[in-house]
Amino acid sequence: GTRVPAKQRRIREKDVDRRARYETVYGEEFDGTKLRQFFERDGAVVLRDFANNFNSGLDAMQDECQAVLWNYAKRSGNKYPTRDCCNGRFKKTGSAPSDFSWMSKDFGCVFEIANACDCAPKKQGKAPRQPRPEDPRSFGHDHKRCRIGARYEGCKSNVEEMLGVFANLANVAMTGADAPRPDDPAERLQTPQVHLFNDQYIAKPPRSADARFTWHRDSQWCDEGETPGPTYKPYLSCWVALDDVDADNGAIRLLPYPKASQVVGHVARAREYEHSADELNALALRRWTRMDGAPDELDDELADEFEAEWRHAFRRVKTMTMRAGDVLFMSDRVLHCSGPNASDKVRRAWMPQFSSGPVLDGSGAPVAVARDMAFNIGYHRRETAWREKMDATREERIAARREAEAKANAQPPAKEQPLRRQLIDELETVR
């Protein structure tokens, strides 16, 4: 065939590679009608380039993440990781990677928006649509004291829109509703059946060995701690990469559900794991004596058996290499972990979580946000209508101003002076 120039070929490959699409954790592409099927089969699915496919969605999330980090740094008296620092340009700012170790040591790399500022109302409103302290998007933020309020000027509606997009997709994955098209992820359902359970950013500082998460399930806290424990509702973690992620900067390592099973439901599928999270952590550290039934001391033969068990346990683990804008949907029952960030850049992600119903503690109070996403989508529709009206009004003002400027710049025909006209008439009469 006709040879395509290298530059043009790279552009074509980039265009093809950056289209929004659904993938399994094994790299198999599928259409949106099978989203729930593969989500229940593996416990996770990948949505490639969904944030990039939406107007300003990724930029808005990155801006809000920077605002949240700024608030946390200010409140804790630590150094703020500017955009230059996040991109590894430390010499430009006079900083060092160690200046940001507080992100992992003090906060465990998790930054909830609800605790990022003091703008929350002191009293919880009675009506569900009134400002609620646990829902940072339901009340206004002080533009002078809170960086989130300043950033919301340009990005709040876009982040709210992304919440609506991911709520619809979570609704599809958990309930089997009709899926939005990959080329139009903003297409939304009329009656979403999910709640926004939590809303947080995860930022791993550069060159940080302790910025890691051991093997765990997101909902294992429901099985531990308080008595009586919280009312469990299945939920989904929507992990959005705000930077390119690979094994060097702490990519998620995920163990899909075992294959070839006839059981249905995430709870039942998770029971088929061969090893628990504690056993996987012991195997990962090669601390064989911490395994159930292991003796205090191991001979060479038994150590070889545990080494073989280590290879067997992690043979199906997938390292989720992702680009900024990719989205990973994970069930609260799937086992996963992530390593430290060995790169020179901050690794950022946004992780809203959606539950099938409000998760309540023993006293009946919401554990976290517990916002019905129907309100979120209604808000967005009003916000969108308002923006469209403002855009139309702005276009009308621009057109009117241009018309007025055109009239002002137009040169009217010069009026002849009366005396000059009289002299011309007298000359014509003499002739």
State the pLDDT at residue 91: 72
pLDDT classification of 392: cutoffs 50, 70, 90: low
Angle at which helix 35-42 crosses helix 147-175, to 10 degrees, equals: 90
Q: What distance in Å separates the CA atoms of residue 159 and residue 419, rounded to the nearest whole number?
A: 72
Residue 389 has pLDDT above 60, yes or no: no
Q: What distance in Å separates the CA atoms of residue 7 and residue 322, rounded to the nearest whole number?
A: 24
Residue 262 has pLDDT above 90, yes or no: no
State the pLDDT at residue 420: 63
State the pLDDT at residue 2: 41
Q: Which of 5-14, 132-141, 187-196, 284-293 has the lowest mean pLDDT?
A: 5-14
Q: How many CA atoms lie within 13 Å of 38's alpha carbon, on the beta-carbon side?
A: 20
Strand partners, 331: 236
**Residue-wise pLDDT tens digits, 338-349:** 999 999 899 999
Residue 13 has pLDDT above 80, yes or no: no
Residue 322 has phi, psi (to 5 degrees) of -140, 155
pLDDT classification of 238: cutoffs 50, 70, 90: very high
pLDDT classification of 308: cutoffs 50, 70, 90: confident
- Triad 178, 59, 17: Cα angle to 5°: 60
Counting every residue, how long is the chain?
431
State the pLDDT at residue 41: 92
Structural contact between residues 129 and 379, judged by C-beta atoms closer than 8 angstroms: no
pLDDT classification of 38: cutoffs 50, 70, 90: very high
Q: What distance in Å separates the CA atoms of residue 307 and residue 288, rounded to the nearest whole number?
A: 9
pLDDT classification of 74: cutoffs 50, 70, 90: confident
Residue 386 has pLDDT above 80, yes or no: no
State the pLDDT at residue 122: 65
Q: What distance in Å separates the CA atoms of residue 370 and residue 360, rounded to the nearest whole number?
A: 9
Structural contact between residues 104 and 205, judged by C-beta atoms closer than 8 angstroms: yes
State the pLDDT at residue 25: 94
Mean pLDDT score across all residues of the chain = 75
**Residue-wise pLDDT tens digits, 152-177:** 554 556 787 788 888 888 888 888 66
Model pTM?
A: 0.75
**Residue-wise pLDDT tens digits, 91-118:** 777 788 888 889 998 889 999 887 777 7
**Residue-wise pLDDT tens digits, 309-331:** 778 888 899 999 999 999 999 99
Residue 384 has pLDDT above 50, yes or no: no
Average pLDDT for residues 126-142, to the nearest whole number?
A: 62
pLDDT classification of 50: cutoffs 50, 70, 90: confident
Q: Which of 1-10, 168-177, 234-243, 244-253 has the lowest mean pLDDT?
A: 1-10
